[in-house]
Structure formats: structure tokens, C-alpha cells
Structure 1
Amino acid sequence: MSSAGSGTTRPQALTKDGQLRRILRLFRPYRRKLLSVVLLVAGSSLVALVNPFLIREIMDTALPQDRLGLLSLLSLGMIMVSVTTSSFNVWQTHLSATVGQLVMHDLRTAVYSHLQRMSLAFFARTRTGEVQSRISNDIGGMQVTITTTATALLSDVTVVIAATTAMFLLDWRLTLASMLMLPVFALVSRRVGNQRRNITRDRQRQLAELSSTMQESLSISGILLSHTMGRSHSLTDDFARQSRKLTDVEVRVTTAGLWYQSTIWIVIASMPAMIYWVAGLTSSNGHMAISIGSLVAFTSLQQSLFRPAQRLLTVGIEIQGSLELFGRIFEYLDLPVDIAEPERPVEPAALRGEVRMRGVGFSYAGTQRPTLAGVDVTVPAGRSLAIVGETGSGKTTLSYLIPRLYDVTSGSVTIDGVDVRDLSFDTLTAAVGVVAQETYLFHATVADNLRFAKPDATDEELFAAARIAHIHDYLMLLPDGYDTVVGERGYRFSGGEKQRLAIARTILRDPPILVLDEATSALDTHTEQAVQKAIDAASVGRTTITVAHRLSTVRNADEIIVLDRGRVQERGTHDELLLRGGHYATLINRDTEPVAV
């Protein structure tokens, strides 16, 4: 089994060919729509090439010979070409946009789903803004490439091939003269593309940094801290510096290769003049080797060739930048899941709630001293265990091993005799309910926050859980009752009210095991008593494991263990440990000492 405390292995970077193959696989589910796009693009491109030949007939035949009927027919043909190409373009744009957005949806969902499978350790060492930036900025930055570039690439390739063929049919010498500059354009385009890719990498990193700053400083907690510490101006200055860096990078992205593109446009604009000049050189005795109509048709085809050829080179530059975005997304998708669901999970017939730890050891990545070592504890079903100790003794870490927020480095944690690593995640979350020290509430109604634990819960079930948590009567006094919006992170409620809401939310799942991580440590004495009543009511008939900071809350526990530097130093009941006069007695005496005024 992988340890949750181990560092996340950085996935090996894909080669450019490997990335392209992987990108193409993203479009595989939509190949029927893509086939329709291909046909529409090819049809539109081929139909558009008919116009130069119609122009040639108009100039060489219809106009010189005063054939009004033929002129009308050819003119009508040019109009029909425009109608047909426009119709094809509308349909292919709709289809390609649909496919592109579906691919982006798949990518966003895949990244979000994969991140949901990552362990707590990953999020403990990764800034939230960085994670959000991968989903929003990086995938959002690929929108143009996915939705329009692929279609433009196909369309332009079709036009270039068809136009080149038609030009050879008209005059092979003029065609060769027209192709002389293309290799130079391709070479310069490749260099600019590499430059654009490097700049794109810098831009996405700066976007992630800016997103992290906004996420941290513009949350309620961040605003509260900046106002009370008088740091609003300095935070604004820091944000301005980061924004200016992003501005500079964006300018570099926009201006990369501008001189190259300008040169190409100058050459394209000059090509008709060169063709006329070459046509004049090949004339003999005042007679041109090519008719006026064919020459006009040829220059029209030439423009049809060079414009898509120039776009193809530009698309190549855009793809270089997009490869960096795809690479950042694939990097997250390839992150190894260090806490994986078992392939063949054990499904116990019933959950009683016995918790047993045998030889449990745990170490965080990058730390030399183990956080836990040789912990042996058994909590019979329906009994209570309290975990106490100094700050940093490993109390919370030990409690997080039970719901498998981390995996043990050594030893085992079992529920009803089954290793938690052999239980499915659904079974494990049904077995263990966790009330953390810091209550997290969504910016939604009270009812929605409670139903996060059980989406199909009835109102009666909500009321019952709230009554057990001693919060129902208070909620009913609110103007909107259970429809009250709690505010960002629950800031419309006090600490004790949020804790009781968290207890009610956990009770709604009705787990046989309840893990309480210092649920009353940050509360005043009066509020602590109210929350403790809720905890006592919630613990009835359940296996309860309490991480305690205030020792007054664990006096009635069936067993108390004292952790010191990750090891169990003492165990017993409250009275037994006091009589022993060891670590626990010292902690109790310090906890009850009057504070000097």
C-alpha cells in the first residue's frame, strides 16, 4: 500500500508526439461528429475553389464573346458557391464548437474527478489557487485551440492541397515560383512556436500565482486578517506587482513573432505583382503563355493558397503554446493516487464499529522522526476512546488513519476485523463519521449543508439529526429556519452553532463510528458545554474516538490514551490515570490551573 505521507511522484513528461497522440484520443468519443465536420470542411474548401475557374471562363469566354446566357449562368454559379460555402461553414462551426466544448467538459471533469481521489496529503502541500488555476485557466486557455484550431487546420490543409493542384493545372512554372518562400516561412514559424511555448509556460505559472493570491486574500478569513493586521495596502501592492508581471508576459505572448507575421503578409501582398512579372517574362512576341482569365484565376488561387498557408504556420505557433497547456493538464491527470480504492473490496455484512490498531506507525514525507510508532489500541463497538497529549504528539494524525485520510506506514487499522485498506470508500464513509475542529460549511442554506451528508434525507430526518445536535430549536427561531443561508464558510453562525451543525450533518449519515477531532477546543466554556451535550447525545450507541485538547471533555471516556512523540505512554480511565500521577495527571493539573490576572 502507498503511504499518504509520501511525496507525490511527478509524472514523467510526455514527448511532443506522445502529447499529440493523447490529445487526439480526447476526440475519439466524438468521431462521428468529427467525420461530419471533415466532410463539411472539405466540401466547403473544394466548392470555394470553383470560383477562380468560373472567373476564368467569364473573362476568357463569356465577356469577349458577348455570351450573355453563359455570363448569367457563370455569375449564378459564383453566387451559389458563396451560398453553399456559407451554409457549410455555419454547420461545421456549430459542430466543431460543440465537439470542442465537449472535449473541454471531459477534461475539466476528468481533472476534478482525479483530484477528488487525491489524498489529504496532496492538498496539504499544494496551494488551492494552483489547483483551481489548472482547471479554470489552463483548460480555459485551450478553448480556442480545441474549438476552432482543429477545424481551421483541416480546412486550411484541404484548401492548400486543392489550390496547389489547381495552380499546377493552370501553369506549373508560376506554381513553382509561388512556392519558393514557403520553406523559409515554415522554418521561422517553428522557431516562433518554440518561443511561444516557453512564454505560455510562464504565463500559466503567473496566472496560477495570481489565482492563489486572490483565493487566499479575498476569502472572508483573508479579509478579516488583512483588516485586523493593517495589511490591506501591502496586499494590494503585492497583487499589483503580480498583475504587472502577468501583463508583461501577456504582452510577450501577443507580440511573439509579430515581425515574422508582418514579413509574411508583405510577401503575400507582393506575390501577385511577382506573378504578373513572371508572366511577362515568359511572353513571346507580345503573346503571353497564359490567358488573362487564367492569370486572374491563378492569382486568385494563389491568394487562396497563401492565406491558409500563412494561417497553418500561425496555427503551428498556437499549437506549440497549447501543448504546454495540455502538458500541465496531463501532469495533473497523471499524478499517482496514493490512497487508492481496493480492486476487490471486502464488504462486511454488518458494521458493528469495533476499531483496532496494531503496531501502527506513520511518517509524513520529508520528516525524519516518525509521527506515530508502535501504537496498539482496541476500541470495542459502542465504547469510547479519548486521545490526549501535547501539541504535535500525533493525536489528529492517529484519528485520521481510521477514516483513511492517510494510510499507515506500518501496522494496520481494522474495523470489525477488516483492514480499512480493504474496504471500499463507500463502506468506509458509511462506517466512520468525522467532526473536525474547523467546521466547513458551504455558502448555501442550512438544509443544503446538512443534506450534503445525505442528499435524499427527508425534513423529518434533518429535524431529528438537528435535535440530537441540540441545534433544532435555535434554527426554528431564525426567520428562514432551515432555509437560512449560512454565508461564506458559515460566518453568519457562531463557532458553537457551526460545530453543532457539523455534528448534525455527521449524525444524518448514522455512522457506527464517530471521530471527533478537538471539536470544542476553540469554544468558550458556555458554548463548549452546549456542544458537549450535542456530542454526548450523538455518541449514544456509537463507537466514539475523541481527540481532546480540553481534558474536561474526556473524563467519562471508557479508555484514555496519552500520546507523547507518537507513542502511547499511558492508558486507562480518568481515575486510573490520575492515581498513577504520570503524563495525564500533569496535563490535567496544567489544564485546571487558574490563569493569573
Structure 2
Amino acid sequence: MQLPRILRLFSPHRGRLATVLILIVLGAVLSLAPPFLLRQILDVALPHGRIGLLTELAAGMLLATVGIRVAAVIESYLSLTVGQEIINDLRKRVYDHLQRMSLAFFTRTRTGEIQSRITNDVGGMSAAVTGVAATVVGSLATVAASLIAMVILEWRLTVLSILLLPVFALISRSVGEERRAITLERQQKLATISAFLEESLSVNGFLLTRALGSSPVLVAEFGRHSKDLADLGVRSAMAGRWRQCGVQVVMSAMPVMVYWCAGLVAHHTGTFISIGTLVAFTALQQGLFGPVAQLMQVGIAVRSSLALFQRVFEYLDLPIDIPAPEHPVPLRRARGNVRFENVHFSYGDKQVLSGIDIEVPAGGRLAIVGPTGAGKTTLGYLVPRLYDVTGGRVAIDGVDVRDLSFETLADTVGVVSQETHIFHTTVRDNLRLAKPGATSDEVEAAAKAAQIHDFIEALPDGYSTIAGERGYRFSGGERQRIAIARTLLRDPPVLVLDEATSALDAETEHAVQRALDRLSVGRTTIIIAHRLSTIRSADEIVVLDHGQIAERGDHDHLVVAGGLYASLASRSLLSPSAPADARTRRSAPHGQPTGRPSGKTAV
């Protein structure tokens, strides 16, 4: 049941909501005064020419109206503030929860779907959350006050007025259920469009589309998605419209019914209802039916928004498969000894790693090689806990990585991968992601060590140059050296290099390798690589095959052994340098990509 959970969202704002309630009750009480004052004007002041009484009654109506409007403005401000704070809190909670998900979640979920939950779904709740509480309470208070006043004025006409209220409630419920189903379908379609846009209008998507000449196909597909969304918008807006039209006609006809019934009562009983009473009663009747209509609309909006809450709560309820330790172990002055102890890992039913036992002493260099799909990257990602072992453990300086806080792990283990991510912000801010409080001197020192400082200085705005989406302003080698500088700035004692040079040409690889060598000095380094040039100097080479250790030793020993490593190495020696990454830039000074082919060797 979602309603109790939704109501709990309002509990931190009880104080302001209490103020809203007081203002609503005050407004409801004040709204009763004008009809009674109007009756006195029509039945007493005007017929008897009492100008003084007329002035007092008119002033009273004016003051009541001013009081109602002032209370409504303050109440609206408080309601909007509370509603937006709730939306903001939900948005942050979803984002924070997703930040604690494992890498596996993001590999199986479309980015556009995630974005849609945070923007479209949470944003779509805004109207419901912002005004629902105040509207419900205000409408209920007005309805209650109006009913009491109507009974005081004329109880027989009041009975006639309330006979239709249950029918209105049933109509509202049926329309709300219909719109809820349409809203869920509409949000799913919005998520599909968001994912489609993110994939097709990203830099990679654009390059692929232009290269294949598939723009017309994608435009047609987007047109279909957009047309479906437009149709759902019409269906949502028109759902129950004829039923609501009937309700509005009945509400509009009720004053006529009151006048007709008053005439019948007078004709059959000889009891006349005064003109002032009739006018006051019909005014109160509108004060009854107006809030009832609002409640109907709110009910429809709430039922529609339940679909949005359902989708948001689905994400908030996703289990954290890599939970933070309840009592993290401190790791002061980490030396960097890394040990894999009988490590097993599986993706669902698929076993990826089995019985891995490796120890990398502090400051040592371990290379992990093997055929594609052997589990090399997965093994490396177990160290920074991007995945969790399903058996055995990974320890740093004797402490299980599952017992270390994520902050400690981030300070202890640095990762440089082939796919370096650069944010669409300045080069300086990209570097400071590793150390937000770094000084300009520290940032430049790290860039110099990564052999990228001179290049950055030569950019139009130096370190203030905007990197562009995913860093496509720069070549693959330049992005890699920025990533290396970022890691140097953080200064971790353990380093995982995940095929950091596999997509680079020989010249760029040489420059990046020099930066990596500088980065690796004094650190425990785990190298996942295909290229022989990056692994032959490792203290130990571990060869994985189908998730198990097939061979281990140094380069010379493994070559002489004539096993899998020797086979892979012989193929690598035939092609010691892979072609350049297609995104490697070597042309304009403003960093436009030139488009070279890419490839990689077998080791």
C-alpha cells in the first residue's frame, strides 16, 4: 500500500503543515460570512433603506474577502514550499540510492531509463505533492463549513444538495483509476524516449548514425515514439471527460433546482423562503460543489500520480547488492598489500572466476592476461569493490575490502581504464574530481607528472577549457593522461590499470606509458592488458582462462613453458602495436577528432 508511505513524506514538515491547516480553517470560517451578510443586505438593509447597516454589511463582506485571499496566498506559499522540498528530497534520495548500486546495475539498465525516473517521474509528482494536502484539507473544511451553514439556512434544500455527492465520488474514483493506468503507460513511453535520445544523440550515437547513414531510420523511429506519446497525452486528458461534463452540468443546474423546489414548498405548504435566504443558500451551495469538484480533480490527480510514486519507489526499493559496512575498519597509511583468497565470482548462474589465489606485495606489479572473456577485468574490479566476490575474499593489508568504507577504498585504490570518462566541464574541474580541495599548484603538478600540462596550457582557455561531452575534444591518449593526472592527484597506494593503452597508436601509447610508469612508482600495480609491452616487466604474470588461473610466473618463464601465455605472446609479437583509436586527435589545435581506425592484439 503506497498511501502510508506517501504520507510519511510529509511528516518532517509537520510544523508548516499545521500552519497551513490553521490558515485553511480560518479561510473556511471567513468564507461563511459573505452569504449570511448578503442575506441581511437583501432581506433587511435594502428593503428598509437602512444605509448605515448596508454600509456595515458591505464592509464586512469586503473584509472577509480580503482575509480569505490573504490567507490563501500565505497558505499557497507554505504548501508550495513543502511540496517542492518533498520533491527535492525524493530526487536526492533516488540519486543517492543509485550512487550506491553496483556496476552490474548500470550495465543492465539503460541510462535514459534512469534519467527518466529522476526527471520525468519525480518531476511529474510535483503538481500532486505540492497542492494535494492543502487542497484536500481546504476543500474538506469548506465543505463541512458550507454544509453546517446550509443546514442552518434551510435543511430541506440541504438534503437535496447532498444526495448527488456519493455519485460524484464514484465517478471521480473510476476516472482516477483509468488515468492511473494511462499515466503508467505514458511514463514508460517517456522513459523509452529518454533512453532513445540519450543513445542516438550522444557523441558515439551521432558518429555511428552519420557513418551508417541511418538518420532517416532513427527519425522515423523517434516519430513513432513521439506519436505514441502524443496519443497517450490525448487519452489521459480525455479520460472521463464526458462523465465530468455530466457532473458539471448537474452542479450548474443545482441553483435552478433550488429555486424550483423552493417554489414547490411555498405552493404546497404555504411556507415561503425569503429571497435573501435563497440567494445565500445558492452561494453556499456553490461553496459546497466547488470544493467537491476540486476534491474530484485531486482524487483523479492522486490516483494518476500513484503510478509515478510506484515507479520511483521501485528504484528506492532496489536492493543494494554492494552494501557499505555497518562498522567500517579504518585503514591508516595503507601499504598496498593486495591478496585474492580463494576468490569466486558469478553473474547470476554464470561462473566467471573460480578459486583465484594471488598475493601482490606492497609496491609489486601484477599483470593479468588471458583470452577475451577470461575474467581479467572482473578480477581487477573486485579490488575497488565495483563488484563483490561471491566466494572467498579480497584483502588490502589483511583487511577484507568489504570491511572498508567506500571513502577509504576510493582513497586506497585508483582505477585507470581504457574508457576514460571526462565530464562536460573545465579541465581543472575534471582533475579536481579526485581531490576537490586541491590547489592550482597541486593540479598542475599532477598534470606535469602525467605529461599533459603543456598540452592543457596550449588550449584556448588553459585549465579553464571546457572538455566537451565525454571529453571528445581530446584524443584517446590525451584523455588517458588526464585520467592519469586525476589519479596522481588522489595519490592512491594501489593502482588498477584496465587496458589503459590498448586502444592507442604506438606513438601515443609510448607517451601514455611513460605517464603510467611515473604513476606506478612506489605503488602496488595490477595491470590488465593485451599488449606485451605493458606487461613483460611485471613481477608476476597471471594467465586466466575460463575464470581460472592457467599459468603464472614472469615473462621469460612463461614463454619458455610454451603454454597459453607463449601462444598469446607470439601473436602479440607479430603485431606489437595496435592501430590508433578512431577518436585519436592529431589535427586542429582546438581538439577536433580526426577518425582513425582502432584495434587491439591478443595478450
TM bin, normalised by shorter chain, reads over 0.9
Identity among equivalent pairs (%): 57
C-alpha deviations, 1:153-179, integer Å up to 9, x for none? 111111100001111111111110111
Give the aligned partner of residue 515 of structure 1.
496
In the alignment, the residues of structure 2 paired with residue 483 and residue 313 of structure 1 have an alpha-carbon distance, to the nearest angstrom, of: 54
- Tell me the equivalent position of 1:353: 336
- For residues 189-210 of structure 1, what are the alpha-carbon distances to aligned partners after superposition, in whole Å with 9 as ceiling and x for unaligned? 1111111111111011001001
CA shift for structure 1 position 298: 0.6
Q: TM-score, normalised by structure 1?
A: 0.95
Q: 1:129 corresponds to which letter in structure 2?
A: G
Task: Report what 1:88 is aligned to.
Answer: 71
For residue 188 of structure 1, what is the aligned residue in structure 2? 171
Q: CA deviation at 1:285?
A: 7.6
Does residue 212 (structure 1) correspond to residue 195 (structure 2)? The answer is yes
Structure 2: how far apart are the matches of 1:234 and 1:540? 51
Counterparts of 2:269 and 2:440, CA distance in 1: 96
- Give the Cα separation in 2 of the matches to 1:267 and 1:65: 36
Structure 1 SS opposite 2:383: coil
Report the counterpart of residue 595 of structure 2 in structure 1. none
Question: Higher relative contact order at CA 8 Å, sep ≥6: structure 1 or structure 2?
Answer: 1
For 1:434, the equivalent position in structure 2 comes to: 415
Relative to 1, partners in 2 of residues 1:285 and 1:451: Cα closer, same or farther, differing over 3 Å? Answer: closer
Q: Secondary structure of the residue that 1:557 maps to in structure 2?
A: coil
How far apart in 2 are the matches of 1:107 and 1:392? 39
CA RMSD of aligned residues (A): 1.3
8 Å contact from structure 1 (residues 490, 498) kept in 2: yes
2:434 maps to a residue whose letter is: A
Which aligned pairs between 1:75-474 and structure 2 lie closer than 5 A?
75-284=58-267, 287-365=270-348, 367-368=349-350, 370-474=351-455
Return the alpha-carbon distance in structure 1 between the equivalents of residues 238 and 88 of structure 2.
30
Is 1:63 the counterpart of 2:46 in the alignment? Answer: yes
SS in 2 for 1:49: helix
Letter in 2 for 1:188: I
Given residue 183 of structure 2, which amino acid in structure 1 is its aligned partner?
T
Measure, in 1, the Cα distance between the counterparts of 2:173 and 2:69. Answer: 32
Aligned 8 A contact 1:514 1:543 in 2 = yes
- 1:212-231 CA-to-partner distances (Å, cap 9, x unmatched) read 11111111111111101111
Distance 1:384 1:285 in 2: 106
Amino acid at match of 2:565: Y
* CA-to-aligned-CA distance 1:275-319 (integer Å, 9 cap, x gap): 111111111589543211111111111111011112111211111
Q: Write the distance in 2 (CA, Å) between the matches of 1:278 and 1:441.
A: 76
Q: Distance in 1 between matches of 2:302 and 2:526?
A: 54
Q: Say if 1:34 and 1:546 are closer, same or farther in 2 by CA, change over 3 A.
A: same
**1:489 and 2:470 correspond:** yes
CA distance, structure 1, for counterparts of residue 466 and residue 153 of structure 2: 73
Amino acid of the residue matched to residue 498 of structure 1? R
For residues 525 and 449 of structure 2, the distance between their equivalents in structure 1, rounded to whole angstroms, comes to 15
Query: Counterpart of 2:536?
Result: 555
What code does the residue aligned with 2:136 have? Answer: L
Summarize the alignment of residues 581-596 of structure 1 with structure 2, pairs less than 5 Å apart: 581-593=562-574
Give the total of aligned pairs. Answer: 577
- Judge conservation of contact 1:280–1:288 (CA < 8 Å) in 2: no
CA distance in 1, matches of 2:12, 2:558: 65
SS of match in other structure, 2:467: coil
Larger mean CA deviation between 342-351 and 553-562 belongs to 342-351
What per-residue deviation string (whole Å, max 9, x for no partner) do you get for residues 414-441 of structure 1? 0000110111111111110000110100
1:445 CA drift (Å)? 1.0
The equivalent of 2:556 in structure 1 is 575
**1:423 alignment partner AA:** L
Whole-angstrom CA distance in 1 between matches of 2:270 and 2:278: 13
- The DSSP-based 3-state class of the residue aligned with 1:371 is strand
Tell me the alpha carbon deviations over residues 550-574 of structure 1, each in whole angstroms, 9 at most, x when there is no partner: 1221110010000001011111111
Shift of residue 181, structure 1, vs aligned partner:
1.2
Which whole-Å CA distance do the structure 2 matches of 1:541 and 1:488 have between them?
34
Aligned-partner residue type, residue 304 of structure 1: G
1:20 is matched by which residue type in structure 2?
L
Which secondary structure does the structure 2 equivalent of 1:167 belong to? Answer: helix
Structure 2 match to 1:528: 509
Secondary structure at the counterpart of residue 144 of structure 1: helix
Amino acid corresponding to residue 454 of structure 1 in structure 2 = K
Q: 1:31 aligns with which of 14, 30, 44?
A: 14
- Corresponding residue number in structure 2 for 1:4: none
Q: Which residue of 2 aligns with 1:10?
A: none
Q: Could you tell me how far apart the structure 2 residues matched to 1:44 and 1:266 are?
A: 27
- Structure 2 unmatched ranges of 5 or more: 577-603
Whole-angstrom distance in 2 between the partners of 1:222 and 1:38:
52
Q: Could you tell me how far apart the structure 2 residues matched to 1:409 and 1:31 are? A: 45
Letter in 2 for 1:186: A
* Partner amino acid, structure 2, of 1:432: V
Hey, what does 1:51 align to over in structure 2?
34
CA distance in 2 between partners of 1:313 and 1:462 (Å): 60
Q: What TM-score, normalized to structure 2?
A: 0.94
1:480 aligns with 2:455: no
1:546 maps to 527
* C-alpha distance in 2 between matches for 1:146 and 1:275: 37
**Runs of 4 or more off by more than 6 Å in structure 1?**
none
- 1:301 is aligned with what amino acid? L
CA distance in 1, matches of 2:79, 2:171: 29
- Deviation for aligned residue 1:328: 1.1
Letter of the structure 1 residue corresponding to residue 428 of structure 2: A
Question: Counterparts of 2:526 and 2:174 in 1: how far apart (Å)?
Answer: 62
Whole-Å separation in 2 of the counterparts to 1:183 and 1:29: 34
Amino acid at match of 1:385: L
Q: Distance in 2 between matches of 1:480 and 1:199?
A: 50
Residue deviations 1:92-148 (CA, integer Å, cap 9, x gap): 111111111111111101111111111111111111111110110001111111112
